[in-house]
Structure 1
Amino acid sequence: MTLDVKICGVNTPDALAAALEAGADFVGFVHFPKSPRHLSVEAAGALSGEVRGRAGKVILTVDADDALLRALVDAVSPDLLQLHGHESPERVAAVRATFGVPVMKVLPVRTSADLASVPAFAAVSDRLLFDAKPDPGALLPGGNGRVFDWNVLHGLDPGLPIMLSGGLDPSNVAQALASVRVDGVDVSSGVESSPGVKSAEKIFAFVRAARAARRFQPPVEGQAS
């Protein structure tokens, strides 16, 4: 089983170069003004143009309206739209239909009860990403460097690719992949030297660790390989 590695919150040419050279499958550009990784529409378009087909381009938004999504789609030509807000299944379906771009819905998780919405979102999404659930009133919906209990996802099979996020870094991604079988891993703050500042060394280390973990670990009992 192959593993997709996504480096999210890429916001400088140096960070992008490191992600591409490390062999990331996806690079994520954040458009959310409260985030230290935020890029304007213009900046996202300029930076994404340097990808040149070497990785999939992902735009992350939070409860964006159609006008903003249209501007971002036109500027970036993304391969995937990552919806990281409170979008309903109906909204996800509408975005997918309106823009003709595959959609990955982010679902915040703390306990198994948070998985109740998986079937509804799986029916309208192309991928699902499970992230640590932020505390009430938190400034950011993700990128907070928090880990959740990965075992909550054990045996989950929504019928489409799933990715894992939330507090992953070079030191724990192997443990995460040993705990739960997923199709990809997503990292942001775990490869930074400070909030919003990517570390090339950590990016390379994360990609190496993730690839090695998937290559040498046997399938998790009870989950598909």
Structure 2
Amino acid sequence: MEIKICGMKYNVREVAALQPDYLGFIFYDKSARNFENEMPALNSNIKKVGVFVDEKISVISKKVKELKLNVIQLHGNESESYCQELKCSNPEIEIWKAFSVDEKFDFESIKVYKSIDKILLDTKGENPGGNGHKFNWKTLENIKFGKLFILSGGINSEDAQLIKNLKEKNSDLVAIDLNSGFEIKSGFKDFEKLRRFIKELKEII
């Protein structure tokens, strides 16, 4: 199970010491976690994820080059044709597409996205992400998208066993996305809470 810690803004170096697989940086000026700081030097084992919301492809491509991003995460209403164009502009970069899930969400709509590498499933809320609420994870137990997926949305320090249970039901779950459930304030992560949770998760999965 890979671990992504997203919404990084303030204590990046401290959190990087936990050696997550991914650190996520949001480039969306309407977000309280919008990253405008200088990117610190990180261990090469940690992949940098740039999170964008309905952004111009030229702007994303510039950020990829400037910050040496490893993954582009799209968290808006980007179409499959948009994703195709983005992939052509950044052929070496992994692309994730986030989908906002609620009780009315049509999971079949995901299958039109052929050019993305992975799916990220988040909870639909007022903001594109970081709302701190879960959707019904049971809907994911027996569903296949034809792609691997990342679980996001309201994950907190009590959820290790629930994540293990879902992983046993659906092997396409390959990563989890930790954000608001592990914060002291927006963009400032609770190091000890993250450390304890990651340790627990690695012990059971």
Answer yes or no: same fold by TM over 0.5: yes
Structure 1 residues 55-110: Cα deviation after superposition (integer angstroms, max 9, x where no partner): 11100010010231122112111111000000011111111111221100001111
Matched, 1:120 2:116: no
**Inter-partner Cα distance in structure 2 for 1:66 and 1:24:** 27
Q: Which amino acid aligns with 2:54?
A: D
Q: Tell me how large the CA RMSD over aligned residues is.
A: 1.6
Give how far 1:33 is off.
1.0
Counterparts of residues 140-219 of structure 1 (less than 5 Å): 140-180=127-167, 181=170, 182-214=173-205
**SS across alignment from 1:117:** helix
Q: Which amino acid aligns with 1:197?
A: F
Counterparts of residues 100-139 of structure 1 (less than 5 Å): 100=91, 101-111=93-103, 113-121=105-113, 123-134=114-125, 138=126
**Inter-partner Cα distance in structure 2 for 1:174 and 1:91:** 37
**SS across alignment from 2:96:** strand
Instruction: Check the 8 A contact 1:6/1:24 in 2, yes or no.
Output: yes
**Inter-partner Cα distance in structure 2 for 1:4 and 1:79:** 15
Instruction: Check the 8 A contact 1:143/1:189 in 2, yes or no.
Output: yes
Q: Which runs of 5+ in 2 are unaligned?
A: none
Give how far 1:133 is off.
1.1
Q: Which amino acid aligns with 2:185?
A: S
Counterparts of residues 23-62 of structure 1 (less than 5 Å): 23-40=19-36, 43=37, 46-47=38-39, 49-62=40-53
**SS across alignment from 1:183:** strand
Counterparts of residues 58-73 of structure 1 (less than 5 Å): 58-73=49-64
Q: Which deviates the most, 197-206 or 24-33? A: 197-206
Instruction: Check the 8 A contact 2:24/2:48 in 1, yes or no.
Output: yes
**Inter-partner Cα distance in structure 1 for 2:104 and 2:145:** 14
Give how far 1:209 is off.
2.9
Q: Which runs of 5+ in 1 are unaligned?
A: 215-225
**Inter-partner Cα distance in structure 2 for 1:174 and 1:112:** 26
Partner of 1:10: 8
**Inter-partner Cα distance in structure 1 for 2:157 and 2:204:** 11
Instruction: Check the 8 A contact 2:111/2:146 in 1, yes or no.
Output: no
Q: Which deviates the most, 205-214 or 157-166? A: 205-214
Instruction: Check the 8 A contact 1:57/1:79 in 2, yes or no.
Output: yes
Q: Which amino acid aligns with 1:203?
A: L
Q: Identify, as 1 or 2, the structure richer in helix.
A: 1
Structure 1 residues 91-145: Cα deviation after superposition (integer angstroms, max 9, x where no partner): 1111111122110000111136431212112x111010000111xxx2x211010
**SS across alignment from 1:60:** strand
Give how far 1:52 is off.
3.3
Give how far 1:157 is off.
2.2
Matched, 1:82 2:69: no
Give how far 1:199 is off.
1.2
In structure 2, the CA distance between the partners of 1:115 and 1:151, relative to structure 1 (3 Å rule), is: same
Structure 1 residues 138-161: Cα deviation after superposition (integer angstroms, max 9, x where no partner): 2x2110101110011112222322
**Inter-partner Cα distance in structure 2 for 1:206 and 1:170:** 6
